[in-house]
């Protein structure tokens, strides 16, 4: 017991990130005597999203022994469970049945190089693309259902290769991977918060865990130590919900920006790994969407609704009733313009976007948005002005002027392409907008086998692996849509193979 107390002190110091305590050669565990492990597992997986659940099932299938998945939240699945269910698979059967025969893993990599803008890790992307049918098979054999005959070309891809789960959510995949894991003997635990790593020099030998933890209160639960006989796989996702960290690495991401992510995407495990020497890369590359609505949580319907709003409608500042941007400009341009709308105290003055109701009354995007009260049907400009506290005369003047520009198919104010713009006559569908933070391209540097790289030696930290959004440097400047799900599922397969190979190499 005495030994453990001493050890606890040291471990707390290390968690704060004192480099001195983690220098190579420091044998923390041994220098403090025996640790009283509460339990042990051959493979410990941190996090239960696509990456963690895929790694767990595949570790079982590789015969790596007992597998324990630790999840801090009260639900399984993280971002993966709430995700949109889009999965890019070159040469998937639906694509082939559609007669798209000229796609290949290399074609996908080509698209990813363009969106990565030179910062991507080509060999990693190629390895993932080459194994994409393995990810598809994993889904099918665990019982995931995809939409019949559905395979489309999504933004940034040069081929129709994105399939989608039956209900349009990643939950269709996580629930099946979870059930397969339960059946095959994976031990999943909710409310287990990874607080710290237990290192033996440059090797991880276990984790310090807060059991029965209640997010987000770090005083809840009790501390236990779990020994990892063979490997610790970090699959703890991104850090888009960590406001301080977000702002530290990209000061333009001010805290008024909400986030599409699950609440648990706070990155503390990533920081712990860094404190033990793991090399962070591209931490400041964070994807935001300028299509968020403050009137719904998560990703929501706003993005879909705005695909009408940006094209057929207008964005208006509530402060002065005027248009303020080219509604069809790129993400960055629009985000910056939207975020300039502030009240005197700096708080967001959410702009409104609106378009004619009648032409879209039956459109799914409108029906859902009105149903869930993140957009409203409003009959007249006067009513819009009253509801959203916009100067009415100015609003009417702006719309009159806009309608004239629609007629002329020219936008002298912002040079917007007006080919799809409609004269606004009402009644209207109105929603409010503010950008949301969406995906972290950056994270821990790993090698192709998912081994976490120590920045001081540029060599792998022994027995420590990382996969999924927690890793960095793979996608470069911007991740292409539908590719994270693919990456996570594939890397879950690859990491299990690496662990096996490393164990065999060690014998």
| Interface residues toward another protein, by CB under 8 A | 48, 73-77, 81-82, 167, 169-172, 174-175, 178-179, 182, 188, 190-191, 212, 214, 220-221, 262-263, 295-300, 371-374
| Minimum distance from residue 288 beta carbon to ligand FAD (Å) | 12
| Minimum distance from residue 154 beta carbon to ligand FAD (Å) | 9
In the 8-state DSSP scheme, what is residue 4?
H
For residue 431, state whether it binds ligand FAD (rule: CB under 6 A). no
| Minimum distance from residue 312 beta carbon to ligand FAD (Å) | 25
| Count of residues in the chain | 507
Q: Are 365 and 305 in contact (CB under 8 A)?
A: yes
- Of 103, 131, 73, 125, the C-alpha closest to 266 is 73
| Minimum distance from residue 273 beta carbon to ligand FAD (Å) | 11
For residue 236, state whether it binds ligand FAD (rule: CB under 6 A). yes
194 binds, among another protein, ligand FAD, none (CB under 5 to 8 A by kind): ligand FAD
DSSP states of 363-392 as a string?
-HHHHHHHHTTSEEEE--HHHHHHHHT--H
For residue 52, state whether it binds ligand FAD (rule: CB under 6 A). yes
Separation CA 223–CA 213 (nearest Å)? 9
3-state SS assignment for residue 92 = coil
Nearer to another protein, 52 or 442 (CB): 52
Q: Using CA of residue 91, residue 95, residue 101, residue 103, what is the dihedral sign?
A: negative
Nearer to ligand FAD, 219 or 362 (CB): 219
Binding-site member from 65, 298, 391, 426 for ligand FAD (CB under 6 A): 298
Nearer to another protein, 34 or 372 (CB): 372
Burial status of residue 5 (CB atoms within 10 A of its CB: 0-12, 13-18, 19 or more):
exposed
Q: Which of 117, 331, 416, 432 is catalytic?
A: 331
| Residues 6+ positions from 100 with CB-CB distance below 8 Å | 151, 159, 160, 161
| Minimum distance from residue 502 beta carbon to another protein (Å) | 30
For ligand FAD, the nearest residue by Cβ is 49
Binding-site member from 21, 94, 128, 194 for ligand FAD (CB under 6 A): 194
Stretch that binds ligand FAD, among 2-10, 83-91, 354-362, 441-449 (CB under 6 A): 83-91
Footprint of ligand FAD on residues 86-145 (CB under 6 A)? 86
Taking residue 99's Cβ as centre, other Cβ atoms within 10 Å add up to 7
Q: Are 205 and 199 in contact (CB under 8 A)?
A: yes
For residue 207, state whether it binds ligand FAD (rule: CB under 6 A). no
For residue 289, state whether it binds ligand FAD (rule: CB under 6 A). no
For residue 221, state whether it binds ligand FAD (rule: CB under 6 A). no
Nearer to ligand FAD, 154 or 392 (CB): 154
381 sits in which H/E element: helix 381-388
Separation CA 351–CA 315 (nearest Å)? 7
For residue 268, state whether it binds ligand FAD (rule: CB under 6 A). yes
Distance linking the first and last C-alpha atoms of the chain: 33
**What does the block give as tokens for 407?**
């007629």
Compute the radius of gyration of the chain from its Cα atoms. Answer: 25
Q: Using CA of residue 399, residue 289, residue 363, residue 389, what is the dihedral sign?
A: negative
For residue 460, state whether it binds ligand FAD (rule: CB under 6 A). no
Omega cis (within 30) before 278: no
| Residues 6+ positions from 140 with CB-CB distance below 8 Å | none
323: annotated active-site residue: no
Binding-site member from 132, 469, 489, 493 for ligand FAD (CB under 6 A): 469
| Minimum distance from residue 321 beta carbon to ligand FAD (Å) | 32
Please state at what angle helix 483-506 crosses helix 132-142, rounded to 10 degrees. Answer: 100
For residue 482, state whether it binds ligand FAD (rule: CB under 6 A). yes
Separation CA 6–CA 114 (nearest Å)? 52
268 binds, among another protein, ligand FAD, none (CB under 5 to 8 A by kind): ligand FAD
For residue 260, state whether it binds ligand FAD (rule: CB under 6 A). yes
Interface with ligand FAD by CB under 6 A: which residues? 46-52, 70-73, 77-80, 82-86, 170, 193-194, 235-237, 260-262, 264-265, 268-269, 298-299, 439, 468-470, 482-485, 488
* Catalytic residue ranges: 331
């Amino acid at each position: 017991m005495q030994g453990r107390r001493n050890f606890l002190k040291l471990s707390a110091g290390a968690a704060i990130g004192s480099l001195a305590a983690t220098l190579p050669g420091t044998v923390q565990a041994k220098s403090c005597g025996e640790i009283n492990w509460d339990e042990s597992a051959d493979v410990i997986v941190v996090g239960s999203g696509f990456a963690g659940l895929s790694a767990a099932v595949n570790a079982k299938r590789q015969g790596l022994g007992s597998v324990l998945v630790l999840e801090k939240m009260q639900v399984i699945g993280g971002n993966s469970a709430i995700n949109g269910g889009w999965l890019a698979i070159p040469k998937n059967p639906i694509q082939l049945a559609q007669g798209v025969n000229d796609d290949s893993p290399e074609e996908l990599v080509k698209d990813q190089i363009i969106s990565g803008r030179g910062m991507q890790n080509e060999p990693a992307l190629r390895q993932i693309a080459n194994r994409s049918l393995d990810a598809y098979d994993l889904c099918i054999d665990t019982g995931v259902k995809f939409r019949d005959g559905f395979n489309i070309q999504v933004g940034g891809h040069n081929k129709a290769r994105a399939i989608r789960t039956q209900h349009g959510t990643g939950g269709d995949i996580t629930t099946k991977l979870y059930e397969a894991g339960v059946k095959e003997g994976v031990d999943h635990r909710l409310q287990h918060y990874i607080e710290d790593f237990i290192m033996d020099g440059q090797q991880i030998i276990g984790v310090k865990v807060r059991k029965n933890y209640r997010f987000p209160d770090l005083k809840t639960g009790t501390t236990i130590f779990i020994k990892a006989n063979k490997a610790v796989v970090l699959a703890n996702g991104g850090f888009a919900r960590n406001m301080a960290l977000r702002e530290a690495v990209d000061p333009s991401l001010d805290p008024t920006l909400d986030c599409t992510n699950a609440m648990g995407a706070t990155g503390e495990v990533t920081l712990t790994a860094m404190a033990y020497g793991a090399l962070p890369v591209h931490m400041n590359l964070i994807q935001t969407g300028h299509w968020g609505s403050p009137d719904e949580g998560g990703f929501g319907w706003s993005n879909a609704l705005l695909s009408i709003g940006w094209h057929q409608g207008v964005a208006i500042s509530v402060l002065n009733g005027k248009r303020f941007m080219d509604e069809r400009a790129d993400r960055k341009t629009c985000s910056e313009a939207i975020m300039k709308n502030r009240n005197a105290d700096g708080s967001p003055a959410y702009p409104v976007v609106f378009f004619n109701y009648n032409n879209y009354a039956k459109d799914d995007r409108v029906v859902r948005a009105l149903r869930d009260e993140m957009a409203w049907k409003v009959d007249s400009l006067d009513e819009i002005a009253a509801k959203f506290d916009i100067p009415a005369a100015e609003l009417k003047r702006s719309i009159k002027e806009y309608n004239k520009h629609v007629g002329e198919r020219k936008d002298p104010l912002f040079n917007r392409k007006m080919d799809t713009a409609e004269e606004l006559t009402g009644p209207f569908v109105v929603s409010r907008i503010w950008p949301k933070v969406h995906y972290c391209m950056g994270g821990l540097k790993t090698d192709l086998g998912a081994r976490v790289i120590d920045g001081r030696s540029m060599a792998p930290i022994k027995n420590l692996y990382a996969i999924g959004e927690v890793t960095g440097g793979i996608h470069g400047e911007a991740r292409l849509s539908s590719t994270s799900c693919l990456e996570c599922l594939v890397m879950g397969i690859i990491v299990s193979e690496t662990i096996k190979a490393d164990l065999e190499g060690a014998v």
